[in-house]
A and B are shown apart, each in its own frame.
Chain A
Amino acid sequence: MVYLTLGFLLFFALLAILLRDTLLSVLSLAAVSALLSIAFYQLQAPVAGAFELSVGAGLITVLAVLTISFLQKRKERRQPGYALWMAFSLALVALLFFLFQALWPQALANIIPQTSWGEVGDVLWRVRIFDLVPQILVILSAVLGILALLRKEGERKEK
C-alpha cells in the first residue's frame, strides 16, 4: 500500500516538473505533499503526516498560488469547459476513493498508527527544546526578511 502511494507521489512529482503551466505544477506539488502525508500515516507517523498535510499541502500551496496570481496577468482566458472538467475530475477521484473504501474497508482500516501524539510532544518539548528556540529565531528572521524584500521603493528612498 505504501509502494502504491509513493508510486503516485513520484508520478505527481514528475508532472510538477514537466507541466508548462506553473499553476498546475504547484497543484501537482500539493498532490505530492498530500500523498506524502498519506505515506507518513501508513508508516505509523501520524504527527508528521498531519503536519505535512496542513503545512506542505495547505500553507505552501496557498502561498505559491497567491504569488503566481499576483505575478501573472490574466491575459489568457481558459476555455469555458476547463473549470467543469476540473470539477468533474475531482468528483471522479473522490468517488473512486469512496468505492475503494466501501469495497475493501480492511485495506484502510488495518493502518493503525502506534505512535501517540503525547510521545512526540514529549520529545519535541523536552529532548529537542534546544531546537525550538533557534527555530523561533528562524521564523522571526524570515518574517523580517520578507518585510525587507516587500518594502515599497518610496520607503527605501526615504531611508
Chain B
Amino acid sequence: MNLWPFVFVLFALGIFCLLTRRNLIKILIGLELLSKGATLALIWSGILRNSLSYTQSLTVIAIAIEVMVVAVFLALVYAFHEKSSSLDTDDMKRLKG
C-alpha cells in the first residue's frame, strides 16, 4: 500500500486552486486542501516509521493551528468585504507595495 500519490494529488489540487482562483473563499479552500494533504502525509509517514502515536499527536497540533489560520483568514475576508463589498483578489489593489 502506498498513499504518497494521494498526498501529491491533494497538494497539486490545493496549489492549482491557490493559483487559478480569485475568490477569497476558494483560496481558503485551496489552503485547506494543502493542510489536509500535510496531515495525510504526517499520518502515512507515522505508519511507515512505526510511530503512529507520535505523528497523531503532531496531527492534532497541526489541525488546531489550521483552525486558527482559517478563523483569522475568514476575519480578514469579512473585514475586506466590509471595505470593498467584494471577494475578488483583483480588488485588493491597496495592498500593492
Contact = CB atoms under 8 A, between A and B. Distances in A.
B72 A142 contact: yes
B34 to A, nearest CB: 11
A36 B36 contact: yes
A40 B43 contact: yes
Interface in A111-159: 115, 119-120, 122-124, 127-128, 131-132, 135, 138-139, 142, 145-146, 149-150
A10 B13 contact: yes
Contacts of B44: 43
Nearest to B32: A29
B22 interface: no
A146 B55 CA distance: 29
Interface residues of A, number: 52
Given A17-B13, A17-B30, A56-B36, A115 B63 contact: no
Interface string B63-79: 11111111110111111
A71 interface: yes
Interface string A27-38: 001001100100
Interface string A59-75: 11001100110110000
Contact of B36 (A32, A44, A123): A32
Contacts of B23: 22
14 contacts: A17-B26, A17-B29, A17-B30, A29-B32, A45-B46, A45-B55, A48-B63, A55-B63, A64-B28, A124-B60, A127-B57, A135-B64, A139-B64, A150-B75
